[in-house]
Amino acid sequence: MPLARPHSLSGTLTPFLYPAISVARRTCRPPFRCHSTTTAPEAHSPQPHPSRLDPAADDYSLTPFADRCILTVEAGGGGHGCVSFLREKYIEEGPANGGDGGSGGNVYIQAVRGETSLHKLARRRLIKAGRGRNGQGKVKGGERGSDTVITVPVGTIVREIQRHDAVALMEQEYEQEQWKRERGAVEEEEAAEGKASFRKDRWLVYPGTIPSELNRMKFPELPRPRRSHLAALEPEAPMWLDLDKHMETPMLIAAGAMGGLGNTHFMTPFNARPKMATRGDEGLKISLQLELKILADLGLVGLPNAGKSTLLRSLSNSRARIGNWAFTTLQPNVGTVVLDNHKGRPLVTSRRPNGELRDNFTIADVPGLIEDAHLDKGLGLGFLRHIERAAVLAFVVDLAAGDAVSALQLLWREVSAYETQRGQELNAETERRMVTYRPAGRSPRPHPATDLVDSPPHLDPSPDPLPFLTSTPISSKPWFVVATKADLPLTQPNFEALRAYLADVTAGSLPHPSGRKHAWKRNVHAVPVSAIQGEGVHMIPQLVMDLLEE
């Protein structure tokens, strides 16, 4: 299948402004009707209203946008156990009947297509699930805490910064106490220090218990710390997620803590009325860094004032700011191009990799790049990373602003330099992670089969190295050139030079603009458009769909 169908490069500008690239043959392929390239476009491609594409200076909408944020996620804590006793008419002092506390709520994360920014999460800072209710009398367990779902845009990267796991600390403490108890060290320490076994952070006692009675009480051994069975579904710590696909179901990232035990668990043949219960466990706290690398189907790359925002308006219903000055766009704008509005024959027929019919695709308008943008000049470095997550790149070149070939080569130099810089960072990160750090004076951890009997258990193993994010190199992505402002006079020679240059790059007689060996060179096209008039833009969706299929 050819990369671009012949009818995808036919439009209103090509025949009378650029006859050299007009296609002479007729094409007929569903869902388009048969038409000649020298005729006017069909009725299914209406011309946008010129006033919308050339609005006033104050006619725009500024959508809140945040591409990264730090978020604290806290699972719900468990409810406390209940200290209660049976009280009936003919039972004066009944046995214990306190219920257990409810478990805390879980925290889930889900990537959905409808979201395009992280500004909602950046304002919240803290997301906490509901706490479990306390237990009640008559052996009634507490109600479970409410769950929380975090919705993020598709293409969000989740990195764990820090975590506080209270249950892990209790497990470590429990193992150490068990190791000491086997050697009788716990009883000797308590007898020497004269301390009671009551711990305020772990036990609850019957209301009204006076301190003298509390000192005489004999508390049982603390039960082993418990975890929810859903904790097995949590990602392995430290968390490192690349949510690059739409998720039908949310993913669990923090399971709720278990509730405390009621006093019924501490009944013995010699004590049917225990006056203690355990407190609920503290929920898991995780600090996450969320970074959005816009995973758009098409990314617009160009110099300032090249017409990217106008092109975005002409292709979608976006109300991006348009002005005749540089750096009109200060943050990425995301637009959606509707291919099928379910009111008739679709404009373009395409399917997603999973076989689902595609009814739209997204466009990311990246702020203009200047020379040395990879060195953090202008607005380049902060937004160049969004280009990494675009499936197809469209280099927007202004035909009326000078040599189009030089402008294209400048854009590719910046993108290639950024790609080289990112590769060096990944290599340095690889070398850093290959080194196994061990504190001075600490002997290597013995194998479990050779552990000494008298040595305490090691409970702090070093975490596994974080996995790398895999992505296609920028130079290997499919790309094409959009030559804007083609309705202005004396732009035909500039476009002819650009078209001839791309033909030489495709044929291999000239190197790729990025200078890389395995860069994309297959049938690179230049599409002349007049975005402000809405002419020639209707050929871009079909071209993008063809490149996505490749």
Average pLDDT over residues 256-282: 92
Q: Please state, in angstroms and rounded to a whole number, the distance separating the CA atoms of residues 62 and 307.
A: 18
Which of 73, 72, 158, 68 has its CA nearest to residue 119? 68
Which of 305, 302, 313, 299 has its CA nearest to residue 532? 313
Which pLDDT band, with edges at 50, 70 and 90, does 43 fall under? very low
Residue 17, pLDDT score: 55
Q: CA separation (Å) from 1 to 4, 5, 478?
A: 9, 9, 16
Residue 151, pLDDT score: 95
pLDDT tens for residues 195-216? 447 788 899 999 888 888 888 8
Q: What is the domain partition of the chain in residue ranges? A: 9-65+295-426+470-548, 68-292
Residue 459, pLDDT score: 37
Give backbone dihedrals phi and psi of 338, rounded to 5 degrees, phi first: -85, 120
- Quick check: do 9-65+295-426+470-548 and 68-292 share a fold? no
Residue 549, pLDDT score: 81
Which pLDDT band, with edges at 50, 70 and 90, does 285 fall under? very high
Does the domain spanning 9-65+295-426+470-548 belong to CATH 3.40.50.300? yes
Q: What is the CATH number of domain 68-292?
A: 2.70.210.12
Which pLDDT band, with edges at 50, 70 and 90, does 18 fall under? low
Q: Please state, in angstroms and rounded to a whole number, the distance separating the CA atoms of residues 272 and 75.
A: 35
Average pLDDT over residues 93-108: 93
Mean pLDDT of the residues in the chain: 76
